[in-house]
A and B are shown apart, each in its own frame.
Chain A
Amino acid sequence: MKGAAVHSQTQTGGHEAHPQLGFVRTYVFSTDHKVIGIQYMITSMLFLLSGFFMMLMMRWQLAWPGQPIPIIGQFLPETMAPGGVMLPEFYNQLGAMHGTIMVFLGIVPLGVAAFGNFVLPLQIGAKDMAFPFLNMLSYWIFLVGGILMLSSFAMPGGAAQSGWTSYAPLADLAPPGQTMWLIAMTFIITSSLFGAINFIVTTLNLRARGMTWLRLPFFVWCQFVTAILLVLAFPVLQGGAILQLLDRVAKANFFIPANLIFGGAPVEQPGGGNPLLWQHLFWFLAHPEVYVLLLPEFGIVAEILANGTRKPLFGYFELVVSVCAIGALSFIVWAHHMFLSGMRTDVTKFFTVTTMIISIPSVMVLTCFLLSLRGGSIHFTTPMLFALAFIPMFGIGGLTGLPLGFTPTDIYLHDTLYVIGHFHYVVVTGSLIALFGGLYYWFPKMFGRTMNEFWGKVHFWLTVTAMNGIFFPMMWQGMAGVLRRQYDPTAQIHNHPTLPLNKVMTISAICLALAQIPFVLNFFISIFKGKKTSANPWNATTLDWAACPSPPPHGNFAGELAIHRGPYEYSVPGHKTDWSPQHVPEKELS
């Protein structure tokens, strides 16, 4: 990267007059989007860690069934793991909670609420979100929901244990932990809705002068489409959760059919409900939710790629169209989770066609990312390594979705570990890898210091290797017909040939846990002791880097910004530097 930093009057970001706030209002009950973003980031990373530990215990049981869980086992109560050996009901609780926590309390809040809150207002040149108080409320409601969710392990009979999908009537008739799951979900959904409304209004109204729609950084587009998905899809699950709650506490029978026998005795309820209704309500949210897990990460990868290749993103307009298309199409693919539910077989044809069609904009995004490398000057920084790894890893995740979205091949693969391998490739080696990249990329902006590059690279290589060691054998087992959600894989004869892979996966998972130690240390040590950084250490063009100091003060920018060009004007011929910030007038650059 050549040249000297470009300075303009608007860039140094002096302070505006703000009343001094006390510690509590500055760092705890803050309405500043940056503080809320960092609160969300730390909280969701803690939830990711807790969900990951649940998975480690499950993986132990799968590799060494019936053996006491080392270290953790002795601290678990009799109702969960007598003598350190996990009970089947505890395994099911861990499974349901792992899924719920990772999706709703881990990846989504990290991608949407943490990065969205911190970066989006900075990138559009806004001084804060449109509704700062609502933003604060969103975080605290989220935290209550998360704590309720975790505390449900203390309910009689333990936490929810009907899978993260909570299919009725199993979930309707499950122990009280399920009620807590539903209440906690209601909090989490409410929090997401508050956040999403805020993102939409902020993007619509608070863009700086000259920040037209096609000058928005791709990240902002991704967050904007994600927010629309959340607002349209989440209320459906909110409604579904309330109906299931009524089924459980008021015997409402929305999802319970007549003539059931449960625990040896007829269920004394009139019935008349339909279990498929729950599945429709759930997946009507949960398929757009898959894209909520993915679109913000597309945005993160795009930001890092443009910066790390020192050239404009390939096909910016095509990318924007693709993301909007994904958003629209994501509402008409939900029933591909239900091909074998007993739904009418001719309806499945519609959903298999829409599912194949939605793969095309995703392929377009990936093609654009790949072609963005062409002609670039690729700098292999830590964030760039994560962004680059996203491309082939998400590629595997996307490709393995094809035989699942295609009805005849889904018959065999449905409910096998192939499904689990597929979506973990999408969400872990895809989304989570991108989120790690984003953390390394925006860390200097958040804390004014940089993370250690060497340990970042160590973290990268160990993490990517270990993740593949977990998820690739999973798909292999799926091809051999091994089913998901099995407490003891040795019980089924058809599992036996591929059982050794369980040990490979479990050891990989333990390695993945160890690989996070350098990251956690690097993160916290760098906050306090990392190398001090300038406003724009990556020599980036977007406003978050080029127009405010690191970390940005309350109010972000000094004075009004005027935007002169698109978001990724790197290596413009005739300009003094190889980056041309969005807000710097042409005459100051050439």
Chain B
Amino acid sequence: MNAPEQLYGWWVPVKASTYAAQLDTQLDIFHWAMLLIFVLWGIYFVYCLAHYRARPGVPAVRGQLSVAKSMVPDGIILVFEMFMIFVIGLPVWAQVMETFPEEKKANVVHVIAQQFAWNFHYPGPDGEFGRRDIHLVSSGNPIGLDDSDPASKDDIVSINTMPAPLGKPTLAYLTSMDVIHGFNVPAFRTKQDVTPGMRVRIWFEPILRGKFEIACAQLCGLAHYRMLGNVEVMTQEEFDAWIQKKLADKAEL
């Protein structure tokens, strides 16, 4: 397990998912480009301030640079931006946001957000999610799981702790029971608004074991700042053992 100080620092957190490195590269390209543009502009700006400061006997000169020439930097920036979108950006966007792992090969989980907790609903060994009904919601049944549905017999519900196997994609379906929340795992570079009335798919594949903070990204009320959870990344064996233990706990009740 990594200690928090190894995960989070003065720059982006540790890269704990498969796509974190790619997204970071894009952040890097942008920030180097921004720095370059700013420094070049800055040098010219300071040069102008010093060189063209008002001096007695030196009048302003109306000579004009041609407008076409002045648009060269604008053109360069436009080309850079289009290059970033079509060559660098869209393929990664497509991979992260539009290409999903097959359900059979993934750890599928329903994330049900509420003020101010994260509920994680796992289908259990049968791979099928039981029916949910908000009228069944109670303190012992936070997501309103319908026990009369056979598919829900081996379902597992975990609050604020989201176990996920290492080296296998996790496919999560996000829904909200009340207001808009934001599912956000900084170490994975995963972020998605969780909007009531909608079901949104996301995926991530962890590459490091450990506990990774989930922090709500969208203002959801007075305890928004404490709407926290953890993705606990473990090996497949540990994950299976966790499932078995939760099933045993459930059987005891």
Contacts and interface: CB of A to CB of B under 8 A. Distances in A.
A370 B90 contact: no
A356 B62 contact: no
A107 B113 CA distance: 37
Interface residues of A, number: 100
Interface residues of B, number: 93
Interface stretch (B122-130, B185-193, B236-244): B185-193
Contact of B4 (A310, A371, A481, A496): A496
A360 B8 contact: no
Contacts of A414: 191, 217
Contact of B70 (A275, A368, A373): A368
A265 to B, nearest CB: 9
Q: Which of B7, B60, B187, B200 has the most CB of A within 10 A?
A: B60
Interface string A294-329: 000000000000000111101101100000000000
A147 B84 CA distance: 46
A87 B222 CA distance: 9
Contacts of A169: 178-180, 196
B223 interface: yes
Nearest to B46: A392
Contacts of B8: 480-481, 493-494, 496-497
Interface stretch (A120-128, A195-203, A244-252, A571-579): A571-579
Nearest to B183: A340
Nearest to A405: B81
A415 B225 contact: no
Given A167-B219, A342-B193, A402-B34, A367 B74 contact: yes
Nearest to B12: A479
B45 A88 contact: no
A349 B58 CA distance: 52
Contact of B48 (A257, A275, A373, A411): A373
A364 B72 CA distance: 10
A137 to B, nearest CB: 35
Given A170-B220, A375-B60, A406-B26, A340 B179 contact: no
Contacts of B54: 310, 377-380
Interface stretch (B92-100, B101-109, B151-159): B92-100
B172 to A, nearest CB: 13
A449 to B, nearest CB: 24
Nearest to B73: A367
A324 B88 CA distance: 30
A305 to B, nearest CB: 11
Interface stretch (B36-44, B160-168, B245-253): B36-44
A214 to B, nearest CB: 14
A260 B113 CA distance: 11
A37 to B, nearest CB: 30
Given A377-B59, A377-B60, A496-B8, A487 B41 contact: no
A408 B93 contact: yes
Interface in A384-421: 388, 391-392, 395-396, 399-400, 402-403, 406-409, 411-415
Interface string A324-365: 000000000000000011100110110011001101100110
A19 interface: no
B21 interface: no
A261 B177 contact: yes
A408 B219 contact: no
B65 A259 contact: no
B140 interface: no
B58 A377 contact: yes
A352 B85 contact: yes
Nearest to A257: B197
A366 B13 CA distance: 34
A71 interface: no
Nearest to B89: A408
Contacts of A491: 225-226, 228
A89 B55 CA distance: 57
Interface string A164-177: 00010110010000
Contacts of B178: 169, 173, 260-262
A12 interface: no
Contact of A170 (B48, B98, B180): B180
B198 interface: yes
Q: Which of B38, B93, B134 has the most CB of A within 10 A?
A: B93
A560 interface: no
Interface string B194-221: 1111101000000000000101111111
A480 B9 contact: yes
A345 to B, nearest CB: 5
A492 interface: yes
B217 A266 contact: no
Contacts of A395: 38, 41
Contact of A261 (B5, B55, B114, B228): B114
A88 B227 CA distance: 13
A399 B36 CA distance: 11
Nearest to A407: B93
Contacts of A356: 78, 81-82, 84-85
A348 B82 CA distance: 15
Contact of A167 (B44, B77, B218): B218
19 contacts: A92-B219, A273-B197, A314-B65, A315-B70, A340-B193, A346-B98, A349-B93, A366-B41, A375-B61, A375-B62, A377-B54, A392-B42, A399-B38, A407-B89, A408-B26, A412-B189, A485-B225, A494-B13, A578-B59
Give the top 8 A-B pairs by smallest Cβ distance, nearest first: A257-B197, A481-B186, A373-B48, A375-B61, A356-B81, A311-B60, A170-B179, A310-B60
